[in-house]
Structure 1
Amino acid sequence: VHLPITMGYDRNAELLIDEKRAFLEDKLARNVHLFFTHDPGCALAQVVRDAKGRFGTTHELAELQARSLAA
C-alpha cells in the first residue's frame, strides 16, 4: 500500500493521494479488513503503519472460502 502510486489517467493526482491517505487512516483507526478483488495473491488484509509512518498490510489471506460475520 503506497500512497504516491496513482494511475496515469488520474487528473488530480495530489488530491487522490490525500484521499487515499484519509481512506487508509480511517480503516486503520477502525481496525477493519480490506478486500483486494484484483490482487491474485491477497484477497483480504488489515491495514498497518510501520515505524516510518508507511502503510502496509498484515494478516493477509490469499483466498476466502467462508468467513463468519461479527454480530
Structure 2
Amino acid sequence: MLRLYESAGGRGTATIDWMTGKIQAYSVNLLEQETGPLQAEAGTLTLFFQPYEVKTIKINHNPHAQEA
C-alpha cells in the first residue's frame, strides 16, 4: 500500500516506476478496499492530483502469484 498526498495546495503529477516490471495497481479507499483498477504500463504508474488530494494505492508486483 502507498498513501500519497498533494501538500502544497496545487495540482500535480506523480510517477511511480516499479523496477521489477509488470504490476497491477488499484485505487483503494481509506479502509484499503479496492475502488477500481489503475492503468500501469511497463511498471510505470502516473497519478494526477488535485489540491490537497490524498490517494491510496495498492500495488501487486507479482500478478501471477496466488494469495494464500
Give the alignment's TM-score, normalised by structure 1.
0.27
More helix by share: 1
Give the alignment's TM-score, normalised by structure 2.
0.28
The structure whose Rg is larger is 1
Determine which structure has greater relative contact order: mean sequence separation of CA pairs < 8 Å that are 6+ residues apart, divided by chain length. Answer: 2
